[in-house]
Structure 1
């Protein structure tokens, strides 16, 4: 048995071939015993030998050799020239003024890119190409059958044409008359509906003319406007006429054969779904919850107590906390999070809540100043100023509107108000029997909109998530889920709330150091436990969760979906 290759023997030194391996040269990839280290170091003095303990082999980076200077290793990278550079290169001033990076950082970015591309190739592109190949093969089989059917049809038509020509003419004329009648009936019905709406609009205009000048509150309050019913314009019906292609009497017996073709559509296939039905086209890919949520990054906010977070993009987030500054952070996973800029509130007060609108503007509420404010190009503008009410939480909707939770000055009334173009559009305050939907008192409440347009409020006073539909009708209340296997089972104390692409509702439970995940119908799914005193929440377009940890003063980025 060869002692150097036997699985039953220990590894031996590559020089003396007898002593047990204790060291390793990362430069030459040679195993050494301690006695042979000196001999190996002197064997080739042109190299910078990196000798480490055998257990730490490959831990020392093997820097690339410099193409301009022999025996020099490159530990830096010139971003402008796109090449590795050594100390002699830098001393020559050839790269003076150029942007430099540590080559290890370039290596990590390159590895990260390769890993992501390999995952994409293996998990998405490779199986997609298999599906495409199968699709083409199926199309060829189908095409073979269709060409056979075409030949059969031509033969049959030739046999029938002689005796059926007269009957065919009558049939075609009857079809023309039927098509004409059907289209005229449809268009006339459409015209009648439009004329009816025109009449109704005229009636509405006349019925509301007196409201412009009247000061009679009873009459004014009785006026109802149906303008929202008419904003959606009637659909446009465009009739298309059938075409008759006459055949030549000689040579072509009542019929022609159109040419065949192959059209190319570069957007015909999708990486996520190869064949989409009409209903599925607008639905996101189904994602499963991870068994163990993974913390991706921790962002140090610098606040004494951070409260709120909002995603500007997948690589930038806004955060707010104690003090009057709202901070924008970069969150590239390959680099340390960096604060990009800060915006001071117009009043100097701490913002109650922050959100990012559909158009990418930052919006914040100022509870003490009774205002809602927009920040665009670092300029702040009061867009809503309230009387007798104070704004608490705010979120943007899929339609571009704003949803705002408000408290009355005496803390005895709570309502949700929808704003469109900064004009009040809808108020949600009571259920079908006139009872308040939300608890009273000065408690923390947060709001978000789900994909199905439900309006979700985490109400810490009620210890519940209150969900109403778009019309403001109560759908359900979620009051928590018993944790019989956990020692951390305090009464829930809800803070931030957010939804994701799967229509899950996530809400922060401050008392129990967790985030509850429920489905769009209020059924409990699971907890995310890797948080401390969670407060504000937001999700990015990849369904990563950002959690403000009030106790640790960090914002934590968590992956919880596959």
Structure 2
């Protein structure tokens, strides 16, 4: 009986037992006999003294039978062994030959079964994982390809302009060189003409000498032979011209590239496309969309909430343990985390009493964030690690960022993801991690292939999913949507914008500190400047950090003081 394939086995109602005259379901398989067995025939097989040592397994775990292949040296024998030393298949008779004396042999059928199972597993991976995942990546590549075409067309236009300029120079130099060859040719021909004249004169001289010799040799003038001896002048010497040699230009493609300008890939390590299991990516996308919708519903439940005509200070905290109150994170309980530029990270209660203090490598950046679960996340750029502090004050290493230095961090109120601004050398990016610490997104370039970030000092997320980054080196607030596409960059009002702390509120406003003008700017979701909501008029000097809690209170940390001030600006 021929063995059905896995596809055939799956397609028919049941497998037929391989025992003669038995039509029962062959749900088992004898690896020695290579045939399916029903339950009764399996029991008989085990009881039979001749077959009780056979290996019987469930059909789907069977070993596949070795295809029949005749030995070339012994055509009556099948190839069923494998020589380890020679690494070649052979038959049992080959194994007795002197060439294989002392060698070790393996059962070729065992090797075949292992290889078959391995390849079948790989085939299954293709259908269930690799193919659908690759199709998703292909869509990303198609988008990249469209953008690359635009970029490359622009490059080609520039290259043609450069080539046209060089061509003009080449034509000019070639023209001068050709004119020079005519001058050389004229000089050389003039020299040759002079030599030709010299030999014409000598030939005339030889004619004259011939006449004289004839006269001397005449019988009538024999006396002349004794009176004078004629001598012939030597043939004048001339030189052959040294013809000019054209020496071809010794240049390579690199030399031409230096003249024309060369297309180079930036000295940036290509970022690998993240390959996630489809079910993980799908689940995360559904979760994010659901939470965004819930967030929108919550916002819609407060139609009367709007900007107040005035800003009112409601309280202030003097934070013990910090020199300057820079970045501020507010827990759901109302407790605060405040950091300064000496690496001090302090937790206080509602009365400003210090609850715990941690020494970190942080400086003035927004390197900590409170999660919706009550934890605190903070970065250590020196160790390239992100830590988690649980409510019971236990500190654990949460995420290692490899060669990237984590700078700023924010815990999403939408889905709990972590947004981390990081840098290395002259590169910077924003990375999204799941609540479990798995990297799920990396944002570094805009649609034109330009770097989005330089030094992502502070980071936050808006209610619509936009990622808002305060980039100190770029002197701008850089905003991308949840997919990482650049939406806009805000560069302040006038010159000298120096952005620091940044946050958003329930209405989608963006609030950012401008250290240069000692103000806090209020923007809408589309980068529109609404007002300098806080300034020296409200007692603010050198604002560094801003944070909005669940009650829409605005917390402001300042340089040169350990006081955090709290304001109401919505009603």
* TM-score of the two chains, using structure 2 as the length reference: 0.48
TM-score by length of 1: 0.48
Q: Greater helix share, 1 or 2? A: 2
